[in-house]
Structure 1
């Protein structure tokens, strides 16, 4: 069979086969639907296989199966075709196929070939270039539902902009299984699975080399997590991803082994959101919070045109997780795991923010304009379990008044935490390795803080706004030489040390802290300036102090 393009007849047949398998035999992917989903506010009616035009139509109060396009807008000087107030009527009257940029034209053809009546493309279905951004403000909160209800997400993974298209030239016979006659039996010969395929079930899009341009965009992560079915067009092959099957043309009927799904965090979150995998906090091998922190690390490392979109870009995922009823959501963190949630650290420092609270409170990762990490606090590799901790403070209240009633998961600038804990005075000193000294009774103690990770450059204490160290928790992490052991002996040793002052396993019981700065003219109110670790030799003492000299404080 001739197959020199990912849009060939053979490729179209493969797309149709995967879609038929999923819709007919994957109940989890169909979610018990008895009716097609509600259509988005506007959709593109693509027409039949012989159509040469498509139309922007209203989806209000209508139901139907529709596809979504996940794509890169690219350079601002080469923007995709858009709908504006001026062109809205023209788009409704019809768009000829030759007017569409190649990526859009390919997506329309895919829908026609697969019998999907409607297509949603953000630049055409949301009105652009409005001074008031009225339509964007109304449609942005719905983005999660748009992708979550989509029948199929078409992903132009390697197209840097809308002109490059979904379909790519390739030698398909190098990828497809080869039919052979062996001892009178019809057989198929395939390449041996790669290491990534064997260990993690990577069908070729999880860790591509070089990285796909689309995987560099923050908004796309939500699309990857929420889409029930994704058809991904890479540089030389097709990839299919749904809750029950992750595969490529190399294995047309699915990966011939049982990959560990926890290595694919996007698909794992998708399965949790859609109840394919039952997960209950504290009662499962898979920890939903660990999955969330991994996603946060990914999204903060991706590009955003507007930094204020950090929370809106994952609002759809947060909304779906909150709907499970497990937990409440506050400024990008979850109430049930706030002790870990507030201990993120910046990995690339930027200049001091002058108005951090405009987007999120200082204790939220969304308040900084750089990648953040939880790597020292969560399990690594394939393990998605929660590393045990013991609290060193109490969370009394989370105040989170809605900033925007229409978009509660995307805007949260006035949230604050009320805590009961210990504040240890610190001073900044560049001569100390960590950059900070603990002060006890007016005396400096060197090497008590083993590391200090500031949120920004240019943050400095003063007489009016001094700095403090706030012990948050002890992590019991028996990770040694690549093996994570039973944490209970380490936890027991730490508990005993609260009485005796001696911890047999103190090197594995690490004390994590926030570094806070007093807010001028607001009593007992502080903002976050970074995180730090207490040195092993001081950990037991700080743990004991944390249960004796507590006070109520608020972090904004």
Structure 2
């Protein structure tokens, strides 16, 4: 820790202090007490403090842990007696005193925990990211699953046996075997990975940004204590590793920041939370970093300037049929996240469109709508602009086509839904569908597809045939015999467009990056939303996303001749 602060990661020169801290006393003998941290700013220098990252546990454990409420706030200012301390609090105090750190931040004690009057919680939860970012170090209770478990009381999983050499009998002694966790077939696991692999702490939603934002971490695992910063990792047994390169948000361009945030939300969405309403507040610290870097408007887990890509998430583990999904969306209208936000879905999400297979700048991705506006309503008197929302709406002008009733939806072996259209030569694939429901026997009537974005349709195997500016000609099929990747003919007399026949085809004038993209004869890979009408005319629920490849029977040609229109997505 000392080496980190002097050599590789000096503490930031910041005057930030949390609103409240626990004062552990100058000599380590007094009972800890809650203090107003602003009183410390009169000191010659801003004092160091540690922060605790831990799992509260199940509902029963959380209800009985040591915490600050309005009813005992003044008592906490006087002191916290030992008999009122949870195990994780006692251990954290011991760690701080052993490191000569006088002040400690714990959410349960430094934020007033009154769900009936959440004003303090809403205000302070917006500052949690800064709390961990500016802490001298963060104590990570990796080995515990509850606030009532001690992370210092480790069980030593060791086995000792006698040894004597058959080759050189005087060589004798004892061998000690140390259990380092279950082997999962992955070679060369470092000690930190062994301790994190099955840790309940590592699955928690709030812990995610605490891990990401903390400058220095002390991780107390089942088997070892570890130190981790942005430059290195060191374990109790002396093993040292180079840490993964930390993201410096201000060294990235705006699109890279958005790309990274989307990757982050895929990991975060799978984390567990005691309260679903915490899904946005528990990510607020990272959202604040993106806002500082881009200045873009935050919209329930998405960004105004990245909506053409950020909206293209999908939930791969849905268990609802369409009618159930629509009922859930109706029930949450006015009281939860809008259908277009990934926060409206519990559990894991993915951005798996081909538009994301390369960095978006390399795919020459561009927006395909001509106007968009969005707004969200924060919950109650929420003081956190990155906090929970009760509703949201997107108004967008672009191309929206009805899903043809002569098409069928079929699920292949990998669980991906494909939209097919029949012709006299067989069937042709128009698009991949990623639905928020299980499309067992639901009819496609009433569904609409909205084009949001497109990417260069030139395939890698064709790039080698053209120059660096993309002069290669596009082929309309993915194989020599004219078939697509599914082995069906594309030599059909059925127009692949979802529009009604039109004499005039529109030409996109945006994103003239390469001659391939610039040629109106070449279709582009397309991505967008699957929509279902809501109760109010002109309003829609988002019920999935689609992508359509230009070198198959789809791409942006599906929307040739489609007139732009204004729609609202709620």
TM-score by length of 1: 0.74
Question: C-alpha displacement at 1:232, in angstroms?
Answer: 0.9
TM-superposed deviation, 1:430: 10
Of residues 224, 248, 252, the one that matches 1:272 is 248
Match of 1:455 in 2: 436
Aligned to 1:514: 529
Q: Secondary structure, in 3 states, of the residue corresponding to 1:53? A: coil
Alpha-carbon distance, 1:22 to partner: 2.0
Identify which range, 531-540 or 115-124, moves more after superposition.
Answer: 531-540
Task: Report how far residue 408 of structure 1 moved.
Answer: 0.8
1:241 aligns with 2:228: yes
User: Structure 2 CA distance, aligned partners of 1:361 and 1:224?
Assistant: 28
Q: Is residue 57–residue 146 contact of structure 2 (8 Å, CA) maintained in 1?
A: yes
- 8 Å contact kept, 1:424–1:438: no
Q: Secondary structure at the residue paired with 2:52?
A: strand
CA distance in 2 between counterparts of 1:457 and 1:378 reads 24
Q: Higher mean Cα deviation, 241-250 or 430-439?
A: 430-439
User: What is aligned with 1:532?
Assistant: 546
The alpha carbon displacement at 1:538 in A equals: 4.8
Deviations, residues 375-423 of structure 1 (Å, cap 9, x unaligned) = 445768xx98865243361251333255356211113444433333221
Output one character per residue of 1:278-333: Cα deviation in whole Å (capped at 9) or x when no partner: 21235xxxx32232122111111111122122111101111122112453322211
Quote the offset at 1:201 in angstroms: 11
Do the aligned partners of residues 114 and 541 (structure 1) sit closer, same or farther apart at CA in structure 2, a change above 3 Å counting? closer
Instruction: Answer yes or no: is 1:468 the counterpart of 2:448.
Output: yes
Q: Contact 1:144–1:316 at 8 Å: present in 2 too? A: yes
Pairing of 1:292-331 with structure 2 (within 5 A): 292-325=261-294, 327-331=296-300
Aligned CA distance change for structure 1 residues 143 and 247 (closer, same or farther; 3 Å)? same
Secondary structure, counterpart of 1:158 in structure 2: coil
The RMSD of aligned alpha carbons is: 4.2
Partner residue in 1 for 2:19: 41
Tell me: CA distance 1:315–1:554, structure 2 relative to 1, closer, same or farther (3 Å).
same
* Distance of 2:265 and 2:98 partners within structure 1: 37
* Counterparts of residues 36-115 of structure 1 (less than 5 Å): 37-48=15-26, 50-51=28-29, 53-63=31-41, 64-79=47-62, 80-115=65-100
Residue 132 of structure 2 aligns to a residue in which SS? helix
- Seen in structure 2, the aligned counterparts of structure 1 residues 290 and 156 have a Cα distance that, compared at 3 Å, is same
Return the alpha-carbon distance in structure 1 between the equivalents of residues 457 and 140 of structure 2: 39
The aligned counterpart of 2:368 is: 393
Distance in 2 between the 1:497 and 1:309 partners?
A: 43
Distance across 1 between alignment mates of 2:431 and 2:51: 49
Whole-angstrom CA distance in 2 between matches of 1:295 and 1:201: 25
Contact 2:527–2:547, Cα closer than 8 Å, also in 1: yes
User: What residue is the counterpart of 2:168 in the other structure?
Assistant: none
Corresponding residue to 2:2 among 17, 20, 35: 20
The 2-side partners of 1:246 and 1:201 are apart by 15
> Residue 430 of structure 2 contacts residue 554 of structure 2 at CA under 8 Å; is this kept in 1?
no
Q: Is the 2:304–2:374 contact (alpha carbons within 8 Å) kept by the matching residues of 1?
A: no
Q: How far did 1:498 drift?
A: 7.5
Output one character per residue of 1:469-499: Cα deviation in whole Å (capped at 9) or x when no partner: 1233334599989xx9999777975664875
Aligned pair in 2 of structure 1 residues 231, 251: CA closer, same or farther (>3 Å)? same
Out of 556, 559, 565, the position equivalent to 1:542 is 556
Give the superposition deviation at 1:138.
2.8
Q: Is the partner of 2:372 in helix, strand or coil? A: strand
- The structure-2 alpha-carbon separation of the partners of 1:533 and 1:472, relative to structure 1 and needing over 3 Å to count, comes to same
CA shift in 2, pair 1:387/1:530, >3 Å: farther
CA shift, 1:95, in A, is: 2.0
**Matched-pair contact (CA < 8 Å) for 1:39–1:61:** no
CA distance in 1 between counterparts of 2:556 and 2:120 reads: 53
Of 358, 361, 370, the match for 2:347: 370
Matched-pair contact (CA < 8 Å) for 2:191–2:235: yes
SS at match of 1:301: coil
**1:391-430 matches, cutoff 5 A:** 391=366, 393-394=368-369, 396-400=371-375, 403=378, 406-426=383-403
2:568 paired residue number:
554
Match status 1:165 vs 2:150: yes
Task: Give, in angstroms, the shift of residue 112 of structure 1.
Answer: 0.8
Q: Is the 8 A contact 2:87 2:150 kept in 1?
A: yes
Deviation at 1:137, TM superposition (A): 2.5
Aligned partners of 1:395 and 1:417 also within 8 Å: no
Contact 1:67 1:151 (8 Å CA) reproduced: yes
| Structure 1 unaligned residues grouped into runs of 5+ | 1-18, 175-195, 262-267, 504-508
The answer to whether the Cα contact below 8 Å between 1:143 and 1:316 also exists between their aligned partners in 2 is yes
Give distance in 2, aligned partners of 1:545 and 1:429. 17
Stretch moving more, 228-237 or 346-355: 346-355
Higher Cα Rg, which structure: 2
Tell me the SS of whatever aligns to 1:104.
Answer: helix
Q: CA deviation at 1:21?
A: 1.3
Provide the C-alpha distance between the structure 2 equivalents of 1:487 and 1:424, rounded to a whole number of angstroms.
35
Pairing 1:229–2:216 present = yes
Partner of residue 281, structure 1: 254
| SS of alignment partner, residue 103 of structure 1 | helix
Q: Is the 8 A contact 2:279 2:388 kept in 1?
A: no
SS at match of 1:214: helix
Secondary structure of the equivalent of 2:371? strand
Contact 1:392/1:546 (8 A) holds in 2: no
Aligned residues between the structures: 480
Matching of residue 144 in structure 1 with residue 158 in structure 2: no
Q: Secondary structure at the match of 2:18?
A: coil
Q: Which moved more, 1:46-55 or 1:538-547?
A: 538-547
Superposed CA offset, 1:497-527 (max 9, x none):
8757467xxxxx743231012333333x322
Shift of 1:118: 0.9
Question: In 2, Cα distance between the equivalents of 1:65 and 1:539?
Answer: 62
| Distance in 1 separating the partners of 2:406 and 2:148 | 53
